[in-house]
């Protein structure tokens, strides 16, 4: 994993900024986001609506925490988990032949494709590096 503090700060800023932006766009369109989640055909309608209300706030809060350096490890771990789930959902949806928008950026959606898989993979790499560094720092402090 990377150790350069300037690179890691850039990773925090990129991951945090993207999640804040994506989350804010979805917060203002919860019904549209609920439909985007339902389009994956994995969750029942009630679960899709619940996720549409909760996920954007988690994205915004964790993104802000990353940028400001608050609970970096926990935020990076949570966002890494979300990115992992997103990647699995995207890959499974593509393999099932379902042609939908990703629902990632509210009204600025894009189709599921390999570019989205690449983007989420890069964000996951950044986030895991942030988590590893935060964990290493915490172990040095005996926390």
pLDDT value of position 143: 55
Where in the chain are the domains? 5-138
Cβ atoms of 36 and 109 within 8 Å: the answer is yes
Q: One digit per residue, pLDDT tens: the chain, 143 residues?
A: 777 889 999 999 999 999 999 999 999 999 999 999 999 999 999 999 999 999 999 999 999 999 999 999 999 999 999 999 999 999 999 999 999 988 888 666 778 899 999 999 999 999 999 999 998 877 776 65
pLDDT value of position 107: 65
Tell me how far the alpha carbon of residue 9 is from its chain's centroid.
17
Residue 103's nearest CA partner among 111, 91, 92 is 111
Beta strands in the chain (DSSP E): none
Residues ≥6 apart with Cβ < 8 Å to 103: 26, 33, 36, 37, 39, 40, 109
| Other CB atoms within 10 Å distance of the CB of residue 96 | 10
Q: Which residues pair with 101 in a beta bridge?
A: 111
């Amino acid at each position: 994993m990377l150790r350069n503090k300037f690179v890691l700060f850039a990773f925090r800023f990129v991951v945090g900024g993207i999640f804040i932006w994506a989350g804010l766009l979805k917060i203002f369109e919860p019904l549209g986001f609920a439909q985007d989640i339902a389009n994956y055909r994995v969750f029942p309608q009630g679960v899709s609506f619940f996720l549409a209300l909760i996920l954007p706030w988690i994205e915004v809060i964790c993104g802000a925490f990353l940028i400001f350096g608050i609970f970096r490890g926990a935020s990076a771990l949570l966002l890494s988990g979300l990115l992992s789930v997103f990647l699995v959902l995207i890959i499974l949806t593509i393999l099932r032949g379902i042609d939908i928008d990703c629902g990632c950026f509210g009204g600025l959606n894009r189709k599921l494709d390999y570019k989205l898989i690449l983007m989420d993979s890069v964000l996951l790499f950044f986030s895991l590096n942030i988590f590893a560094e935060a964990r290493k720092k915490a172990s040095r402090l005996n926390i």
